[in-house]
């Protein structure tokens, strides 16, 4: 028969508390892993119809809970070369715009910034929920922030040596591009 010891229970709970974790919503774009804090993600829904010129400006509209919701081309917002390529081409072709508008297997990640503003981010595959130890987080170097190809990221998450790292995204910079540009300058 096992003997119950309050001291043993306290040691176990203390050991769990020492290994602090953070819950993240994780998804992939262009073969890179990205994460958002769970508190910034309000919901994940199947992507419906997007109106407006999502291809040209990188921003469109959809209707969510009977209200307008801005939809941001997240690939264009995050990847530097995608935005410079779109600028040099002037616009995406009609086929690309139509693909962004409505593809049944796409999802809309509804993200909230620190002021409560909502925006939808289209992603290709369903995201996953992961609990990550806080020890896995490391800030991005200023060199990478200024020179790297990924914007709107604030930290790198290294889970194991076998897995590729994740970029922790800043919801405020995703929703407000001027904040992302200011952090680069």
CA distance 93 to 4: 68
The mean predicted confidence, pLDDT, of the chain is 80
Q: b/e per residue, 94-131, with b = 16+ CB within 10 A?
A: eeebeebbeeeebbbbbbbbeeeebbbbbbeeebeebe
Contact (CB, 8 A) for 44 and 109: yes
CA distance 155 to 166: 8
Distances (CA, A) of 109 to 36, 140, 163: 10, 24, 24
Counting beta carbons within 10 angstroms of the beta carbon of residue 12, is it exposed (0 to 12), middle (13 to 18) or buried (19 or more)?
A: exposed
Provide the pLDDT confidence category of residue 179 given band limits of 50, 70 and 90.
low
Say what the pTM is.
Answer: 0.75
Question: What would the pLDDT profile of 93-129 be if each residue is shown by its tens digit?
Answer: 444 445 555 445 789 999 999 999 999 999 999 999 9
Higher-confidence residue of 16 and 125: namely 125
């Amino acid at each position: 028969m096992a003997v119950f010891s309050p001291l043993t229970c306290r040691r176990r709970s203390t050991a769990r508390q020492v290994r602090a974790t953070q819950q993240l919503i994780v998804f992939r774009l262009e073969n890179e892993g990205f994460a958002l804090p769970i508190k910034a993600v309000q919901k994940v829904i199947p992507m419906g119809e997007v109106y407006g010129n999502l291809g040209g400006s990188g921003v469109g509209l959809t209707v969510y809970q009977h209200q307008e919701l801005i939809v941001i081309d997240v690939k264009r917002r995050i990847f530097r070369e995608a935005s410079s390529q779109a600028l040099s081409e002037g616009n995406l072709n009609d086929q690309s715009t139509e693909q962004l508008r409505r593809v049944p297997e796409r999802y809309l990640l509804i993200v909230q910034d620190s002021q409560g503003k909502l925006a939808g981010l289209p992603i290709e595959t369903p995201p996953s929920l992961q609990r990550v130890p806080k020890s896995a987080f490391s800030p991005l170097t200023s060199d990478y922030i200024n020179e790297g190809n990924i914007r709107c990221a604030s930290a790198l998450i290294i889970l194991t040596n076998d897995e590729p790292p994740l970029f922790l995204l800043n919801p405020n910079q995703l929703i407000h591009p001027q904040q992302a540009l200011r952090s680069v300058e």
